Amino acid sequence: MTNNDKPPLFDHRLRERFFSQRVLVLDGVLDDDNGTVLATQLLSLASEDPRKDVALWIHSPGGSVPAMLAIRDVMRLVPCDVATLALGLACSAGQFLLSAGTPGKRFALPHARVLMHQGSAGISGSAVEVEVQADDLRHTRDTVLGIIAADTGQPVERIFTDSLHDRWFTAEQAREYGFIDHIVTDLAQVVPVRTHEVGLRPTAGSHA
């Protein structure tokens, strides 16, 4: 069997096992396909038990902006808390989803790294098409940066400036900036076995 023929180590059966434990995993690039899967799985788990936490574990270099916005919309829509965890890498869309977790329940492993940047997109076509695309990109950028500001507690002006170029954060720096609330020191912090009263989410200063 060649390297190309090897089955993925994180296969469907393993994903199903995590799903049964209310853990969703974003491993690798976020695209429209796995983004839709994550959003619908989150809706399914919330419908199954709206009082029990769902965990989203992240190890991702980033990816689709529409997919990450859709997942965040669902995270805010469902009544259950969504705890997020940066496993090793949370870049761009990964950072966005990490900081979008329920306040007080956003975690990172001690050596995880977080990257924030605005990203880029190619624009081509006629002058009119370019102008339309540019307007849409500005709207999307402003939407994303505004959400990051709201989720981190940072002024949107600082988010804009800091995201102009790649900015890397250690786990401790990510905590200080507001991407996460806690650095994991105990397994119990990230195992989603607790429940909460519907509509009573913890404040940003509460403990998970």
Give residues with Cβ within 8 angstroms of 108, minimum separation 6: 85, 86, 90, 98, 114, 171, 174, 175, 179, 180, 182, 183, 184
Q: Which of 60, 92, 99, 163 is catalytic?
A: 92
Task: Say whether 182 is catalytic.
Answer: no
Active-site residue flag, 92: yes
Dihedral of alpha carbons 101, 53, 38, 133, sign: negative
Distances (CA, A) of 108 to 16, 99, 114, 137, 193: 23, 10, 9, 30, 18
Neighbours of 158 (CB within 10 A): 13
Catalytic residue set: 92, 117
